Amino acid sequence: MNIRFQPSRRDMLKGGGALIVSFTLTPQAFAQGVPAAKPLALTEVDSYLVIDAKGAVTLYTGKVDLGTGVRTALAQIAAEELDVPFDRIEVVEGDTALTPEQGSTWGSLSIQVGGIQIRQAAAAARAALLEQAAARLGAKKEDLTITDGIVSGSGRQVSYGELIGGKRFSIKLDPKQPVPTKDPKAFKIVGKSVQRVDIPDKVMGTFSYMHDFRVPGMLHARVVRPPAMGATLQSVDEGSIRDVPTARVVRQANFLAVVAENEWAAVKGAQMLKATWSKWEGLPEQGKLYEHVRATKVAKDEVTANVGDSAQALGQGARKISATYDFAIHTHGSMGPSCAIAEFRDGKLTSWSASQATHNLRKQLAKMFSMSPDDVRCIYFEGAGCYGRNGHEDAAADAALLAQLTSKPVRVQWSRADEHGWDPKGPPTLIDLRAALDASGGVTAWESEFFIPQQTPGGFNVPFVAATLTGMPSDDHIAPGNIFQNSNIPYKFPNIKAVCHRLETTPFRPSWIRTPGRMQNTYANECFMDELAAAAGVDPVEFRLRYLDPADMRGIECLNRVAALAKWDKRPSPKGGQSGEVATGRGVTYCKYELVRTYVAVVAEVEVKRETGEIRCTRFYVAHDCGQIINPDGLMNQIEGNIIQTVSRTLKEELKFDRSTVTSLDWASYPILTFPEVPEIVMDLIDRPTAPPWGAGEPAAAVVPSAISNAVFDAIGVRLRSVPFTPAKVKAAMGGA
């Protein structure tokens, strides 16, 4: 793979492959009960940082590492600002008894928001330590220097451990009055490709995932979900698992599970259990999904852009173009099915899970069990990558219910079918677009309508499966996330209207999957931009540059840099003149994430086999500007992941279902991209050390589907408007072209 921004060996602080850094969970993460009170408020330095007598630093953060590397990046930020060695920092994440509530780990905000909070706390702590050192050493602050947590001046020195060891800072933070932070020119740790602290253990088999954690005396459980999603449980034949040692049935209303003293007995029991369920056929017909979406009642319309008078301009345009795009329902598809452990003791609930949102989970569990949130502690343990709200929280609710019903600690491990069938889904998206061009090919009007589920007011808590099956208290939100984002466009047309029809319902319990809404909306908008460029007979990069805000220099630079990186062949699409069996093409896409932050532009190169309709993505060029880069290699890892995962979603992925339930319950029926199909990725990282750091966990995913569609159009002159772009759809589109 050709990576332009290759950190030099010298940049790799822990280079050489030696197993120097070892990340271990702190013993506190294993302890039950609530430890001695520690501040948790966002406005207290002590909420984030504890320095012990030996100078070891513990960083407490509500943001969790979902496999993205933020544990390392956040520790870099803290170490840099405190002037301590990177490996002196230990990180405690996502423990509601110990970590500040910095918001859920979503929306590409861990560094942009969480990192800035940590940087502020560390800067305030360093200033206080410097102040104390000056008093202790009888010197002026200006005459002191700090290296590796030791303050020196006038021939004397004092360590952080001696200054603060074990004591609290008791310093307030005020977001309205930020503490001065280090000049980026002086950075020694931020901006370097520090190796990730978790990788050695993951590679040696010594890392503890949620799935590896055990509590003494616990039972193992497997849930038995209804064979039709809305079915009710009529009867259970407990004798059907008589022969499985220690296995027994646990049931409440429509919630059914088998518990046993070892995991295999729970698996076997769940497979063998005979139960009778009612019939239920409440899902729409898959073949008519988008008719169903279009016919769903609108809860409210959100106008996300309204410039000029688009209706009038459309009526007057010399040339009108319209198109409809759709994007399939996706599952998160975590490699490790969800897993959680729960224990009730003395009226208090302790929940261990891989939730991206332990602080929210705590409130949601408290509601389900009619408890005070103060009596619930949720502790994060890393699971398989979740890419949003998958089944982790549901497994936590399953475990808590089973712990309550059995009066024992219970570990729930979902099966592959549970995960594919019962995680909340990325909802289907339908988008109508219309535009008008004047006689010279200039865009005079742009109108868009997005048919997407509503976000009910009051929260982002996706209802637990267990609460629904039992009728226990639940918020019953419809929570697909902020999927209106990027429905508006970054281009300056004289007349624009964008409307999101927020639908009352959607066929499956929705949630967010990496780049929710921003991906689907950018896909439709950027494909349609390409349609307009082709209609105007203009090069697609040139066409976009014509309409970008000239004051938005970073956006323009990003698009120009990807064109340079890809050695963009300036001409209108389609390419034409290709007669062979395999046609090649290139497509561009530009995105300013949520129109306010990270810029990303890509060029996709594809090969299309005319005979079979197969698309192969051969190469992606990426220009990426997320401001100040904390860890270049970590950033590249995230960008590669965004691109590859979204190529998979775009070419292959579609949830399959009948009128009763999900039928794509394994990797054979829900295939994802495999090694031979993975594109080469070439990157240009635009680092801006003096700018704020923005998110990178999602933006590079937003640009993939349209780049592929535009490249296919360039190759064969056929426009793909329905994700996934399966060979059958390509063939059908070619037939109709």
Partner 1 sequence: MATRALHVNGRQVSITIDDPDMPLLYALRDNLALKGPRFGCGLAQCGACTVHVDGKSVRSCVTPLSSIKADQRVVTLEGLGTPQKPHPVQQAFIQEQAVQCGYCINGMIMESAAFLAGHKKPSEAEIRQALANNLCRCGTHARIVRAVKRAAEMS
Beta bridge partners of 649: none
Concatenated DSSP letters for 7-66? Answer: --GGG-TT-TT---------HHHH--SPPSP----TTBHHHHEEE-TT--EEEEESS--S
- Please count the CA atoms within 13 angstroms of the CA of 489 that sit on its side-chain side: 29
β-pairing verdict for 57-61 and 49-51: antiparallel
Least Å from the CB of residue 237 to partner 1:
21
Which CB, 218 or 445, lies closer to partner 1?
218
Which CB, 117 or 338, lies closer to partner 1?
338
Q: Hey, what are 60's tokens?
A: 């407490």
Least Å from the CB of residue 198 to partner 1:
7
Least Å from the CB of residue 194 to partner 1:
10
Alpha helices in 317-391 (DSSP H): 358-368
Distance of CA 607 to the CA centre of its chain: 29
Residues that bind partner 1 (CB under 8 A): 1, 15-17, 19, 22, 66-69, 193, 195-196, 198-200, 202-209, 211-212, 244-245, 262-265, 267-268, 333-337, 382-385, 387, 413, 415-416, 633, 637, 640-645, 648, 666-668, 672-676, 678, 680-681
Strands (E), 103-155: 145-147, 150-153
Which CB, 305 or 417, lies closer to partner 1?
417
Q: Is the bond leading into 572 cis (omega within 30 degrees of zero)?
A: no
- Residue 464's φ and ψ, nearest 5 degrees, are -70, 140
Q: Which amino acid makes up residue 229?
A: M
Cα–Cα distance measured from residue 494 to residue 445, given in angstroms and rounded to the nearest whole number: 7
What is the DSSP code (8-state) at residue 369?
A: T
Least Å from the CB of residue 678 to partner 1:
4
Which CB, 16 or 180, lies closer to partner 1?
16
Q: What's the helix, strand, coil split of the chain in %, to 5?
A: 35, 25, 45
Which CB, 111 or 244, lies closer to partner 1?
244
Which CB, 243 or 285, lies closer to partner 1?
243
Cα–Cα distance measured from residue 114 to residue 75, given in angstroms and rounded to the nearest whole number: 11
Counting Cβ atoms within 10 Å, is residue 689 exposed (0-12), middle (13-18) or buried (19+)? Answer: middle
Which CB, 123 or 412, lies closer to partner 1?
412
Least Å from the CB of residue 568 to partner 1:
22
Contacts of 564-569 spanning 24+ positions with Cβ under 8 A: 565/4, 565/603, 565/621, 565/622, 565/623, 565/682, 565/684, 566/603, 566/605, 566/621, 566/682, 568/541, 568/603
Least Å from the CB of residue 423 to partner 1:
12
Cα–Cα distance measured from residue 651 to residue 362, given in angstroms and rounded to the nearest whole number: 37
Which CB, 532 or 665, lies closer to partner 1?
665
Which CB, 212 or 237, lies closer to partner 1?
212
- Please count the CA atoms within 13 angstroms of the CA of 466 that sit on its side-chain side: 29
Least Å from the CB of residue 363 to partner 1:
26
Which CB, 149 or 697, lies closer to partner 1?
697
Least Å from the CB of residue 619 to partner 1:
11
Which CB, 197 or 536, lies closer to partner 1?
197
Cα–Cα distance measured from residue 119 to residue 616, given in angstroms and rounded to the nearest whole number: 43
Which CB, 306 or 674, lies closer to partner 1?
674
Q: Does residue 705 contact residue 523 with C-beta atoms inside 8 Å?
A: yes
Least Å from the CB of residue 9 to partner 1:
10
Q: How many CB atoms lie within 10 A of CB 20?
A: 12
Cα–Cα distance measured from residue 690 to residue 457, given in angstroms and rounded to the nearest whole number: 37
Least Å from the CB of residue 403 to partner 1:
19
Question: Which residues, other chains included, contact 353 with Cβ-Cβ below 8 Å and sequence gap of 6+?
Answer: 210, 338, 339, 340, 341, 361, 378, 379, 380, 381, 383, 392, 393, 395, 396, 399
Least Å from the CB of residue 518 to partner 1:
17
- Residue 181, sorted as left (phi over 0), alpha (psi -120 to 50) or beta, turns out to be beta
Cα–Cα distance measured from residue 219 to residue 128, given in angstroms and rounded to the nearest whole number: 49
Least Å from the CB of residue 215 to partner 1:
14
Which CB, 2 or 316, lies closer to partner 1?
2
Which CB, 225 or 502, lies closer to partner 1?
225
Least Å from the CB of residue 668 to partner 1:
6
Q: Under DSSP, is residue 458 helix (H, G, I), strand (E, B) or coil?
A: coil
Q: Does residue 368 contact residue 396 with C-beta atoms inside 8 Å?
A: no
Residue length, the chain?
Answer: 737
Least Å from the CB of residue 616 to partner 1:
13
Which CB, 30 or 178, lies closer to partner 1?
30
Which CB, 234 or 246, lies closer to partner 1?
246
Q: Under DSSP, is residue 572 helix (H, G, I), strand (E, B) or coil?
A: coil
Which CB, 153 or 336, lies closer to partner 1?
336
Q: Does residue 168 contact residue 55 with C-beta atoms inside 8 Å?
A: no
